[in-house]
Amino acid sequence: MATKNDMYLYFMEQTDGAFDAAYDAYCPPLSSFRGFNSTGTTTTLEMQFDSILGTGADIAAVDKVVLTITANKQKEVMDAIVQKLNSHPHSDGFLVIADDTNSVYATSGITGGITACAVTVTAAA
């Protein structure tokens, strides 16, 4: 559950800037972040969050953001995101992780990194 001083992470999966479909934009609180997961491909990395639709007793209900990344840069991307989370000033409480509309990514400044994202929101069973 988000707290008053929680930071919010922003993801936008549309490249056209239109908020015209469910979950084009996703902004969960950092406190709902469960961790990273390797998806079994060399060019993706998954971030998992408690479901915004409610988890109830269903601990398996997670929202997922799949980041498209430079091949085999999972560790570097995880490190860059964690560094951003730890160093970002909490004054505005808002941090862009992946914004496909504006090509803004938390990994800017490293060789290789995030190039796109896709959001999946899961309802509790």
C-beta separation of 105 from 114 below 8 A: yes
Residue 19 has pLDDT above 80, yes or no: yes
What is the C-alpha separation between 59 and 104, in angstroms, rounded?
32
pTM: 0.85
Closest CA to 98 of 106, 90, 87: 106
Residue 24 has pLDDT above 80, yes or no: yes
Q: Is 38 contained in some domain?
A: yes
C-beta separation of 117 from 65 below 8 A: yes
Mean pLDDT throughout 49-67? Answer: 79
For residues 60 and 84, the model is more confident at: 84
* DSSP collapsed to 3 states, 39-84: CCCCCEEEEEEECCCCCCCCCCCEEEEEEEECCCCHHHHHHHHHHH
Q: Is 46 contained in some domain?
A: yes
pLDDT given at position 123 = 66
Q: Is 3 contained in some domain?
A: no
Mean pLDDT throughout 66-77? Answer: 94
Q: Is 125 contained in some domain?
A: no
**DSSP H or E segment with residue 115:** strand 114-120
- Band of the pLDDT at 72, cuts 50, 70, 90? very high
Q: Is 32 contained in some domain?
A: yes
Q: Is 2 contained in some domain?
A: no
Mean pLDDT of the chain: 86
Q: How many domains does the chain have?
A: 1
pLDDT given at position 88 = 67
Which range marks the domain in which residue 86 is found? 8-120
- Band of the pLDDT at 111, cuts 50, 70, 90? confident
